[in-house]
A = this chain, B = another copy of it.
Amino acid sequence: HRAVMGVSNLEKYNEDWINNLKGSSAIVLKPKSTEEVSHILSFCNDNNLAVCPQGGNTGLVGGQLPVFDEIVISTELMNEIISLDDNSGVVVCQAGCVLESIDNILAEKGLMVPLDLGAKGSCHIGGNVSTNAGGLRLLRYGNLHGNVLGLEVVKANGEILDCLSTLKKDNTGYHLKHLFIGSEGTLGFVTKVAMQCPPRSKHTNVAFLGTQNFGKVLKTFKKAKQDLGEILSAVEVIDSSTMEFIDEKLNIKSPIGEYPFYLLIETSGSNESHDTEKLNTFLETALNKHFILNGIVASEPAKINTIWSIR
């Protein structure tokens, strides 16, 4: 079971979930440790065998799929949390940990992963790092270059590179780890990740707004940054033709009627009444100044999910 062969067994590693792309790898290897990754890469390098690293296979652009018959090296079994320091908020884990699993463990300590994707239930943190995944809350927490404190990487020749610092302010030597963030596995195979995790927000609000034109969208965005400041956690823009497409394909309608542009604005913070007050003040001003024409707010999880489902 650590080496998968046979066409039918390999299907799920050779195709992405929308069946858009297809490779024809004949074997998938599932190392459990950095040393195993190192042995595999060293062997493949010596024997001129092409490899393709794969995490949760959730990518939509095919970076995780073999182009021809490369050996797939899956991080599926590298799913151990190595340490979690709840004073500093630093988690260290193997590359194959599923994003949502890490988040669940962090939740027990009042922390969260600074990254939230549609694919969080199956994507691996190693893949997130290798693709510099952004996700829904990029606006609030920035990209992984700011949140990854350290990496352990295996180079193509099998050499293990230890850049696994857990210190927030580490300026020793060149910051090599950044080369591997977003390099899609082309420079090395990420085996371990140390990540800075922010306090988990206690309360979330979502507003769905209708605006007249793109100029008003920008004005609303700017005002939201000013008035909501530190609790603003996501802003998404949807135009009317996208909304029509969503209605047609997914049968989800705009909950506020039809407008040329829509804005989804999320706040999350540590105090429910403070957050709600800030959001209400912002919405009143935006309505009075005609930045927005209409809007609804949701604070219950079910209603929040309904609004996010549009996106």
Contact = CB atoms under 8 A, between A and B. Distances in A.
Interface of A: 86-87, 89, 110, 131-132, 134, 138-139, 142-143, 145-147, 168-169, 171, 174-175, 178-179, 181-183, 187, 196, 199, 201-202, 218, 221-222, 225-231, 269-271, 274, 277-278
25 contacts: A87-B218, A89-B225, A132-B171, A134-B169, A134-B171, A138-B169, A142-B142, A142-B147, A142-B168, A142-B196, A145-B146, A146-B146, A171-B182, A175-B178, A175-B182, A178-B178, A178-B179, A199-B225, A199-B230, A226-B270, A227-B270, A228-B270, A229-B269, A230-B231, A271-B277
Contact of A143 (B131, B146, B230): B146
Nearest to A135: B169
6 closest Cβ pairs, A-B complex: A146-B146, A229-B270, A178-B178, A230-B230, A274-B274, A142-B146
A132 B175 contact: yes
A227 B271 CA distance: 9
Nearest to A174: B183
Given A271-B278, A274-B271, A201 B229 contact: yes
A147 B145 CA distance: 9
A229 B278 CA distance: 16
> How many copies of the polypeptide does the oligomer hold?
2
Contacts of A131: 171
A270 B230 contact: yes
Contacts of A168: 138-139, 142-143
A128 to B, nearest CB: 12
Given A131-B171, A229-B270, 4 more contacts: A87-B221, A202-B229, A230-B230, A230-B231
B182 A174 contact: yes
A271 B278 CA distance: 8
Nearest to A232: B199
A111 to B, nearest CB: 9
Nearest to A219: B87
Contacts of A196: 142
Select the residue from A131, A174, A227 with max chain B CB neighbours within 10 A: A174
Contacts of A278: 270-271, 274
Given A132-B175, A225-B89, A271-B278, A169 B146 contact: no
B145 A175 contact: yes
A147 B171 CA distance: 16
Nearest to A183: B174
A145 B201 CA distance: 24
Contacts of A187: 174
